[in-house]
Structure 1
Amino acid sequence: MSDAKQKNYLVGFIITFVGSVLFSTKAIIIKKAFADLAIPALSLLTLRMLFSTPFYVGAAFFNNNKKDNIALTRKEWILISVTGILGYYISSLLDFVGLQYVSAGMERLILFLYPTFVVLINAAWFKQKINRQQQLALLITYVGIGLAFFGELHFDNSTPNFLWGCFLIFLCAVTYSCYLVSSGQLIPKIGASKFTTYAMLTATAGIFTHFLITSSFSSIVWSKELLQYVILLAIAATVIPSFMLSYGIKKIGSNNSAVVTSIGPVSTIIQAHIFLGEPIVATQIIGTILVLTGIFVISWQKNTPGLPSE
């Protein structure tokens, strides 16, 4: 890999890493909102998208007015719409509902099964070879996540509807992996900003439709505390990291992004301990070290399949 490409890869790695940490705050904010406000999952998800939508509308306006803007084909619109619905509507809804029954740390650990799904889908569907460093990084990362998972399971398995919550988060991981694979194919063609913008807007339309059919905005009890939670959720945990991760996928490919974002469970476990009082056990500490080791391995790989040519 040339020095320019190596530098480009490093930038993509850093942006993906930071975006993942920001995304990991989502579960903490949601759990705090559930505990302090007793707000339904769909209502909180709808407010999250309501407050983030102006940013995506602005980005869409900016993209459409670029001189070099190329109109999307009908096929691209369909693919973006389906991808957005999978990644930010269905996945998000499953995640929000599941978080009512499991801890923030457990949610993030189950959700991060998706790198395995991403790599397998890319290998089976797009015939992308899994190189040895990716295999090693995935192995180390998932041994770490597995250890942390069983440590968390010891404390969390008495919660009502615990297994149901775990199942919903598992489905969230499946649908999100499909989103990540699809975005890895679309972003190099249409650009990270345009893809993220339209995928989010499509998902928002689906979420609003769902909410208006089953509820109404008059049912929401507004307060200063709710507003603070929603702003944090919409901006710090949604808008900013969504653009960062899309840019990261463009730079280092979806397989590598899937492994780098494994920092998410580690970040969530630490934040959950600090802000929610969730316990950290020895297996979580060992798992954290292994996850960070896996990220270190992938960050130093020499060949990057899926990396778009400059």
Structure 2
Amino acid sequence: MSKTKIIYIKLCLSAFFWGGSAIAGKILLKEMSPLSVTFMRFFWATIILFFVCKFNMKTMRISLTLKEHLALFLMGFVGISLCYCFYFQGLNISSAFNASLMEATIPLCTLFISVAIKKETFTKNTLSGALIAYLGVFIIITKLNLHIIYTLNFNIGDIFLLISTLCFGIYNVLYRNIAPDIPSIAQTFYIFLYGTIGIIPWILYYMYSANYRINTHNFSIISVCCVIFLSLGSSVLAYLFFNQGIQVLGASKASIFINYVPIITILLSIIILSYIPAITQIIGSIVVLTGVYISQRNSIHQQETISEYSQK
């Protein structure tokens, strides 16, 4: 099998790992609290990346200055601690279907933040596409129900998911501007490490409250597999495979596979979780994906933004 074919298979696996992360998370949330799922995912991912970095220590710089450590701590706190605590809290209350569509807007959220701080400007495609995509989000969270719109009685889970995308958008901007010049594997290790550390105070706070639970008595082999899937698959292998795809094919071609992630999540949600989407969710998903496609078409800046999405 040629090297190019192997890379395409790896990119497909990356999309599958990211697409399946919401499904694995939804299954885990039946037995663990959102904080526990977040901690377990990134704790084990950090351990795996530690050994990967140690194996490659001779060929990479992993010693950092205090300023670089602080930059990585900030990125880890925003991009892991905050982002994923809100994400799994939202996923616990909302659906994997909705989570996948909120995630699809991350490049657009990143673009809005970049424009706000005058790092980028809107093009006709990106602005029109973004407006269309967020119209789809509006359809999903309101269900086109006038009572919900009038009373602002939204599903809090969907709001948490939106906050999660905002956190990751901020993380992307931080990554562009303050990430230390070290190998990407080492960057990810430190970001995961500090992100995991940032979750610990929240866990300690909720340790004795009803909001914190790990039902070890009912912890099944399926749950163990889900933790492995999230930590090894969605957090480590997907990232490594995607970066290999960028190196061989370039960012533009590799980034195309990111567009399949919400579609994979939706299909797995229907197949594995037996989730039946409402008509407004179907309409909203079509509008969101159309808007994302329009905003990304022929946009170099967006291709760069999508590449950063790989760590999601």
Picking from 14, 18, 22, the partner of 2:17 is 22
Shift, 1:121, TM fit: 1.4
- Is the Cα–Cα contact under 8 Å of residues 20 and 268 in structure 2 kept in the other structure? yes
Q: Distance in 2 between matches of 1:168 and 1:307?
A: 26
Picking from 170, 176, 182, the partner of 2:162 is 170
- Is the Cα–Cα contact under 8 Å of residues 141 and 154 in structure 2 kept in the other structure? no
- Is the Cα–Cα contact under 8 Å of residues 106 and 152 in structure 1 kept in the other structure? no
Q: Distance in 2 between matches of 1:302 and 1:207?
A: 36
Q: Distance in 2 between matches of 1:307 and 1:49?
A: 25
Q: Distance in 1 between matches of 2:221 and 2:62?
A: 42
Picking from 51, 60, 82, the partner of 1:90 is 82
After TM superposition, the score normalised by the length of structure 2 is: 0.72
- Is the Cα–Cα contact under 8 Å of residues 24 and 268 in structure 1 kept in the other structure? yes
Structure 2 counterpart of 1:231: 228
- Quick one: which amino acid aligns to residue 51 of structure 1? W
Structure 1 counterpart of 2:190: 198
Secondary structure in 2 matching 1:190: coil
Counting aligned pairs with the same residue, the percent is 23
Matching of residues 66-215 of structure 1 within 5 Å = 66=59, 69=61, 71-147=63-139, 163-186=155-178, 189-212=181-204, 214-215=206-207
Larger deviation, residues 90-99 vs 46-55: 46-55
Matching of residues 233-252 of structure 1 within 5 Å = 233-243=230-240, 252=251
Deviations 1:239-270 (A, max 9, x none): 223445677899659xx97x985654333222
Shift, 1:78, TM fit: 0.9
Larger deviation, residues 205-214 vs 84-93: 205-214
Q: Distance in 2 between matches of 1:87 and 1:128?
A: 21
The RMSD of aligned alpha carbons is: 4.1
Shift, 1:18, TM fit: 6.1
Shift, 1:192, TM fit: 2.4
Structure 2 counterpart of 1:8: none
- Is the Cα–Cα contact under 8 Å of residues 22 and 236 in structure 1 kept in the other structure? yes
Structure 1 counterpart of 2:36: 43
Shift, 1:31, TM fit: 1.5
- Quick one: which amino acid aligns to residue 87 of structure 2? D
Q: Distance in 1 between matches of 2:286 and 2:90?
A: 27
> Cα–Cα, structure 1 residues 275 and 305, in superposed 2: closer, same or farther, change >3 Å?
closer
- Quick one: which amino acid aligns to residue 67 of structure 2? K
Q: Distance in 2 between matches of 1:293 and 1:213?
A: 42
Q: Distance in 2 between matches of 1:306 and 1:299?
A: 7
> Cα–Cα, structure 1 residues 70 and 54, in superposed 2: closer, same or farther, change >3 Å?
closer
Name stretches of at least 5 consecutive residues in structure 2 with no aligned partner: 1-6, 306-312
Structure 1 counterpart of 2:308: none
- Is the Cα–Cα contact under 8 Å of residues 262 and 291 in structure 1 kept in the other structure? no
- Is the Cα–Cα contact under 8 Å of residues 52 and 235 in structure 1 kept in the other structure? yes
Name stretches of at least 5 consecutive residues in structure 1 with no aligned partner: 1-10
> Cα–Cα, structure 1 residues 287 and 43, in superposed 2: closer, same or farther, change >3 Å?
closer
> Cα–Cα, structure 1 residues 51 and 69, in superposed 2: closer, same or farther, change >3 Å?
closer
- Is the Cα–Cα contact under 8 Å of residues 144 and 286 in structure 1 kept in the other structure? yes
Q: Distance in 2 between matches of 1:183 and 1:247?
A: 19
After TM superposition, the score normalised by the length of structure 1 is: 0.72
Alignment length, in residue pairs? 286
> Cα–Cα, structure 1 residues 74 and 153, in superposed 2: closer, same or farther, change >3 Å?
farther
Q: Distance in 2 between matches of 1:213 and 1:246?
A: 37
Deviations 1:13-47 (A, max 9, x none): x95x8645522322211222233xx3222222222
